Structure 1
């Protein structure tokens, strides 16, 4: 069985961070600022895209791109899918070219440049900015999670799951504050000012990482599987050929006058579904992997599908639920109309409230040998995710015509999403570092994030096809799919546990 890169690599000497290695503080703050910039921009994205058009957000200033709600949802879904799709090349660079630490440092510069591009009041630079943020976020996400795992003494360190939960609090601390600052300034004052504040946040995060990286594990600077010169040439040639074909194809489409936004959205969205399947199959074909490694990859497939279903629903919080909140909720609080972007603070607020509780409970149960298995946590999370959209059917039925519903319906839905998230996302991050073959550690973290790409790609295809994602039938179908997936993985728990080997 291949050894884990995280084994015997913990940075445990000196001061600790809430009982964890000091390096966790550096990664905590880096992810906090990155998520501040990302979630602040994301809270604005759909509202900015529809501003100035027929589906413009109520009470917001103009100056947006005047897209329809369906087109805005499709762009949002494709953008989020691409952020997580780029974790795959991000993981490859971390494993084979730069090592996790250098990859994260470079990603911070790219993300900052992306947010600065959004701050410029030009339509062309807006889409350039989205592309830069997607690339930079992809480079960062797989590698920063890998470095969290490297802080601990192997996959069975009892602090490991709790450490990922603490790290998850950093994510949500940044995400909580972002809508109050970036969201409010962008929605009510100036869109591009909001995007500019996001750039400032990412710049602070990058500086903090560079100053605090001395506390990380020495393994974070190691390139575990360096690329050979032959492989480097092959990757470069394939990349250049693919780019050339795409440029020629779209030049012809534009020149013939048949180009619409769907010419870009549809291929990207389909790629978001195909690439995750191809990547997992490619890793599995590696002849260096042992039989035990391949069994663990088979176990990982179950969690991957479960995650895709979860993110398909969860990520609609900033699109489907945001548009519903803008059009159909009464946000008047003692004469003050709450900005719609503040709904995006609910999930991180609940995470910060509940993540410490979950971390303490998991650790306490682990000491007693009674902690629920990863399979049980995933099953419960999926069922709760499905039930949240069954709850969504109630305000959908109440909000007829000009009738508006209380904001508490969305508060309840975001709370349910948070409970499900804490059973799936931080647990999944930790589980992936345990199941991953040593030579594919960063790339397997990237594969875990590709579940987000798959889930959001499904949402994107529905939006591109003109499906009303606020329609009762679609909401009920998604809810049913999540509940069935949760029950299915629980019913198969013995088989999945057998594939996981010693990992729990």
Structure 2
């Protein structure tokens, strides 16, 4: 990938002092950019195949699971990926530091993808567990390291830097369905999953080579865990593991086990944990009044983001099922796999992200507040499901609709995403107390978990009605109304943020 590297000595932690840069940003951004590109290549390639593989008939090499159940499995799985970002942040804060934690996480993800490549059902679901754990270790900490490249939290290029980082995410996400999706659907499901493992291996190697360009702060363990605390942690972990094994052992032995025994507990945990973590941080007596106020403001951003992700993350479940069952996969005489629809959002991101990055910088003092940007994102995601309501109505007679319907939905969602997601990453690093820098980034990803868990519950409760016009209309209207309410009360939220705007 081309980069604007220019020579000249400069302190590694000071992006304003000249020296080697990546499009005017610290050179370490290039390392994190490419690491995330390959990690997202592996993740989104697997994600493009997941629901299609789960719903494919056994004779076609799939698992033959009902669409509603497959959609719920997908939602809970993605929720778990981001759920584990919180303990992943804790591991960096207390045990290894962000840099080592990302290296460990990337290794675990790579192993998980290769487990998916083994044509055994047990190995497949074990691979999902590995990927979820590894992603939890990597996700929050690699974003934290982007923040470390900008020691001055008022640096006007900070939001633009996160947006460039977001392009790296979407570069991998764009190519993944085209390569992994095509191989998985047209050649062999498990060969597609193996290619995802190769992608993660390349990302891990690139990260290990380029770590010298990262901030020294990324190697520091902010609040190291004492030996006694480690022993207590291991003891508690073993107790909870024993209880889980005993419980599911009894359920399995009695013949009562179904996938719902996994889906429902994880969905409820995904909603309960954010409440616990927010209460725990807010009660910390070591935090200053200003830090507590900022965390209160962050709660409102969290809720708004959860509503956004509730709809947005259905792209890999609800929209994939709609693409497979109700959308033509032929355009201008060219036939393509349904998994290719998953490349539309990252394509639009790469086209529009530079525009948004330039816009935020050019607006200067007229730049909308973070709260206003969040409200724009919520309204956009609501409108996208309004379009889906119309698409579902057009397909109600069994006719397969034009792929332009889903193209329009993904375009609208992309505009909303660019208003909310990269800005959310940035505001999370700025509002986080120093003591909880990694864990607050993990909390940001728990907003995805909360939204996905609500989506899973909806899919489990209403079954195949999750593709109805009513379901699209209700979710879209609620998101748009939430965006309008957030805009109306933005001044109160901004007041809680102190010097962060």
Scaled by the length of structure 1, the TM-score of the pair is 0.95
Choose the corresponding residue for 1:26, options 17, 23, 31. 31
Whole-Å Cα distance in 2 between the matches of residues 12 and 445 of structure 1?
Answer: 27
Give the CA deviation at 1:11: 9.1
Asked if the contact 1:9–1:218 (Cα under 8 Å) also holds between the matched residues in 2, the reply is no
Asked if the contact 2:390–2:469 (Cα under 8 Å) also holds between the matched residues in 1, the reply is no
Match of 1:501?
498
Whole-Å Cα distance in 2 between the matches of residues 501 and 429 of structure 1?
Answer: 18
Match of 1:481?
478
Give the CA deviation at 1:12: 5.9
Alpha-carbon displacement from aligned partner over 1:15-65 (angstroms, at most 9, x marks no partner): 100000000000000000000000000000000001116xxxxxxx81111
Q: Within the alignment, does 1:268 sit opposite 2:266 as a pair?
A: yes
Aligned residue pairs, count: 489
Match of 1:17?
22
Asked if the contact 1:10–1:217 (Cα under 8 Å) also holds between the matched residues in 2, the reply is no
Whole-Å Cα distance in 1 between the matches of residues 229 and 145 of structure 2?
Answer: 25
Give the CA deviation at 1:10: 5.5
Whole-Å Cα distance in 2 between the matches of residues 333 and 461 of structure 1?
Answer: 35
SS at match of 1:152: coil
Q: Within the alignment, does 1:329 sit opposite 2:309 as a pair?
A: no
Alpha-carbon displacement from aligned partner over 1:267-309 (angstroms, at most 9, x marks no partner): 0111011011111111111110011001000100010000000
Match of 1:363?
361
Match of 1:292?
290
Whole-Å Cα distance in 2 between the matches of residues 298 and 273 of structure 1?
Answer: 18
Correspondences of 1:229-244 after superposition (within 5 Å) = 229-244=227-242
Asked if the contact 1:8–1:154 (Cα under 8 Å) also holds between the matched residues in 2, the reply is no
Choose the corresponding residue for 2:127, options 119, 126, 129. 129
Whole-Å Cα distance in 1 between the matches of residues 21 and 416 of structure 2?
Answer: 29
Give the CA deviation at 1:228: 1.5
Match of 1:343?
341
Give the CA deviation at 1:153: 3.0
Correspondences of 1:210-221 after superposition (within 5 Å) = 210-221=208-219
Gapped regions of structure 2 (runs ≥ 5): 1-11
Whole-Å Cα distance in 2 between the matches of residues 85 and 12 of structure 1?
Answer: 38
Correspondences of 1:100-111 after superposition (within 5 Å) = 100-111=98-109
Choose the corresponding residue for 2:399, options 386, 403, 424. 403
Match of 1:188?
186
Asked if the contact 2:84–2:135 (Cα under 8 Å) also holds between the matched residues in 1, the reply is yes
Asked if the contact 1:34–1:174 (Cα under 8 Å) also holds between the matched residues in 2, the reply is yes
Whole-Å Cα distance in 1 between the matches of residues 417 and 61 of structure 2?
Answer: 35
Alpha-carbon displacement from aligned partner over 1:62-89 (angstroms, at most 9, x marks no partner): 1111100011001100100000000011
Asked if the contact 1:40–1:183 (Cα under 8 Å) also holds between the matched residues in 2, the reply is yes
Match of 1:317?
315
Match of 1:56?
none
Correspondences of 1:61-460 after superposition (within 5 Å) = 62-366=60-364, 369-460=365-456
Q: Within the alignment, does 1:39 sit opposite 2:44 as a pair?
A: yes
SS at match of 2:366: coil
Q: 1:343 to 1:165 in 2, by over 3 A?
A: same
Give the CA deviation at 1:239: 1.0
Whole-Å Cα distance in 2 between the matches of residues 44 and 267 of structure 1?
Answer: 25
SS at match of 1:80: helix
Asked if the contact 1:380–1:486 (Cα under 8 Å) also holds between the matched residues in 2, the reply is yes
Asked if the contact 1:10–1:150 (Cα under 8 Å) also holds between the matched residues in 2, the reply is no
Asked if the contact 2:13–2:215 (Cα under 8 Å) also holds between the matched residues in 1, the reply is no
Whole-Å Cα distance in 2 between the matches of residues 10 and 330 of structure 1?
Answer: 48
Alpha-carbon displacement from aligned partner over 1:409-451 (angstroms, at most 9, x marks no partner): 1000000110000011000000000000001001000000000
Give the CA deviation at 1:122: 0.4
Asked if the contact 2:389–2:470 (Cα under 8 Å) also holds between the matched residues in 1, the reply is no
Whole-Å Cα distance in 1 between the matches of residues 220 and 114 of structure 2?
Answer: 31
Give the CA deviation at 1:488: 1.3
Whole-Å Cα distance in 1 between the matches of residues 491 and 382 of structure 2?
Answer: 23
Whole-Å Cα distance in 2 between the matches of residues 102 and 285 of structure 1?
Answer: 29
SS at match of 1:288: coil
Asked if the contact 1:165–1:426 (Cα under 8 Å) also holds between the matched residues in 2, the reply is yes
Q: 1:12 to 1:462 in 2, by over 3 A?
A: farther
Match of 2:7?
none
Asked if the contact 1:36–1:177 (Cα under 8 Å) also holds between the matched residues in 2, the reply is yes
Whole-Å Cα distance in 2 between the matches of residues 257 and 322 of structure 1?
Answer: 32
Alpha-carbon displacement from aligned partner over 1:311-332 (angstroms, at most 9, x marks no partner): 0000111110111111111222
Whole-Å Cα distance in 1 between the matches of residues 151 and 258 of structure 2?
Answer: 52
